[in-house]
Copies of this chain bind each other. A is one copy, B any other.
Amino acid sequence: MTIDAGSVARFAALMADRTRAAICLALLDGRAWTAGELARHTGVGAPTASEHLSRMVEGGLLAEVRQGRHRYVRLRDRQTAQLVEDLGLLAGAEEAPRRSLAGVRASRALAAARTCYDHLAGRLGTGMFAALCDRGLLGDADGTALTPQGRAWFAGLGCVLPEPDAGRRPLVRACLDWTDRRPHLAGAAGAELRRLCAEREWIAPGARPREIRVTDRGRHAFADLLGLDTAAPAEPEAPRTIRARRDTNAAASRG
């Protein structure tokens, strides 16, 4: 047996609980969260969250950094984040589109622009991907390769892209978008592009985790560079609320 069924089961079990899955999804924003934040976010007590985190770290799903009286955790690495994302995509693929009204409001902003681990997603991300393709900067039809023009475009922005090297992270990768069902730019170039956008303040963090906002400066830059229209909905943000979810947990844990 090349690979042990037991270890696969053990690893999958780390995500096979509603609370732990919620933790994984929260961590998809690429940041490190404290144990307390995650407890509040998932609506669970501190002891429970603590046990979950220990288990996930032990199992190799999360990495932790202890700092003073805080315990920070993040997804172990890019591969792990990718797995969580793929899992979310597949798990959501067949789901009926039942969503609360509050959810619609929240997801509208997320659908517009958000981060996906370390790159840009939402309509902003898919729009950029399409624009890059249109201009011949991404080649090979699927957009899984960077053309010489593409490389020049990045260089013109002052982006130093890592030399592509077999076995390392792909330079460009097409990542199917949850909300838009079209690809957005992932891979090393996607991460670099996001870093650049943040550095030049073309984007800024939104009200909720993972949500991002295109700044005025960014709107001009995206229009100039890619002919991209990033008109904002410009609605005031509702305060984030913690909702109880104990009642829904038992129901959800069953197939």
Contacts and interface: CB of A to CB of B under 8 A. Distances in A.
A213 B142 CA distance: 33
A117 interface: no
A48 interface: no
Contact of A90 (B11, B20, B22): B11
Most chain B beta-carbon contacts within 10 A, residue among A19, A59, A144: A144
B11 A13 contact: no
Interface residues of A, number: 77
Chain multiplicity (copies): 2
B111 A2 contact: yes
B178 A2 contact: yes
A15 B12 contact: yes
A167 B183 contact: yes
A140 interface: yes
A56 to B, nearest CB: 9
Interface string A158-200: 0000011111101100101011001100000000000000000
8 contacts: A1-B103, A8-B92, A11-B90, A13-B253, A60-B93, A142-B167, A143-B166, A166-B174
